[in-house]
Amino acid sequence: AHNLTTKCIPANNLSIPANNLIQTGISKDEFDLILNKIEQVYTPIVTNLGAKLRVNRRWDDNAVDANAMRFGTTWVVNMYGGMARHRLMDVEGMTMIACHEIGHHVGGFPRDSWYSGEGQADYYGALKCLRKVWANDDNLSIVAKLPVPSSVGQKCLSQFKTQADVAICMRGAMANLSMARVLAELRGESTPDFETPSKTVVTATVLGHTHSQCRLDTGYAGSLCSVDQTIDVSDADPNVGVCSRKAGISVGVRPLCWYRE
């Protein structure tokens, strides 16, 4: 039986063909390189969980979309060219979207049936997946070319000791800004920003989609959490492998705009 996840991307009728005269977003080579890295890192992880990872590269599909599905023990991530070609998309944002879809499969608790909820998939994506996928990149030189706000740089510096970890923190923050800005445009919401965190406080954990500012807050928190990417999350205990208020941690915890302790 196959089970489709809640979609990562808000429903939309946008169609961005591969043969547009003006190419926006990222190239097919960049798209393939991102997904090569995802497969390299996550194929063995999913195999260890008794399943098989399949990443479908739908470059010629114009849909501005991404999703995750399961067919028995085949765990599927569908990535679409229309999303890659969105004018606000960059390599960092596209990697985060792929990591979000991976997070539905392996992101831990809180879950909804077989998949991790939307907020948890964002948090896992930044906290574990980006760090694994970017581990061998020259993150210092990549981050030097990104317009990282000084407040983000300072926060990352306060959370991490090595230059490499600080650079991945900053790159992860920018990846989530890129993703959140694409989502905000698709939803017709105001542009999310690091300086305007959501004031929403939920009374119960939300497993579905939240607004794009909340999603930025979540990915930013995952980027700032200093728990090592080698310490895995749990399907049953929401406080394992994460930054948790119950452990007396205040930075890098899942935001209250979707998460209730």
Residue 260 lies in a domain: no
Q: Report the C-alpha gap between 53 and 89 in whole angstroms.
A: 25
Q: Report the C-alpha gap between 35 and 42 in whole angstroms.
A: 10
Report pLDDT for 1. Answer: 37
Q: Which amino acid, 72?
A: G
CA within 13 Å, CB half, 3: 13
What total of structural domains would you count in the chain? 1
Residue 182 lies in a domain: yes
Report pLDDT for 24. Answer: 82
Report pLDDT for 21. Answer: 53
pTM of the model: 0.94
The tokens describing 76, both together, are 């599927």
Q: Report the C-alpha gap between 70 and 5 in whole angstroms.
A: 9
Number of Cβ within 10 Å of residue 35's Cβ equals: 19
Residue 227 lies in a domain: yes
Report pLDDT for 2. Answer: 44
Residue 173 lies in a domain: yes
What backbone phi and psi angles, to 5 degrees, belong to 67?
-160, 170
Cα distances from 256 to residues 49, 206, 217, in angstroms, run 31, 10, 10
Q: Report the C-alpha gap between 11 and 201 in whole angstroms.
A: 25
DSSP-assigned letter for residue 260: -
Residue 60 lies in a domain: yes
The tokens describing 37, both together, are 């890295």
Residue 12 lies in a domain: yes
What DSSP string runs through 127-187?
A: IIIHHHHTTTS-HHHHHHTS---HHHHHHHHHH-SSHHHHHHHHHHHHHHHHHHHHHHHHH
Output the tens digit of pLDDT for each of the chain's 261 residues. Answer: 345 555 566 666 666 566 665 568 999 999 999 999 999 999 999 999 999 999 999 999 999 999 999 999 999 999 999 999 999 999 999 999 999 999 999 999 999 889 999 999 999 999 999 999 999 999 999 999 999 999 999 999 999 999 999 999 999 999 999 999 999 999 999 999 999 999 999 999 999 999 999 999 999 999 999 999 999 999 999 999 999 999 999 999 999 999 998
Residue 15 lies in a domain: yes
**What is the gyration radius of the CA atoms in the chain, in angstroms?**
17
Domain range spanning residue 72? 2-247
The tokens describing 109, both together, are 């608790």
Q: Report the C-alpha gap between 137 and 141 in whole angstroms.
A: 9
Residue 121 lies in a domain: yes
Cα distances from 201 to residues 14, 43, 63, 177, 256, in angstroms, run 32, 37, 33, 21, 5
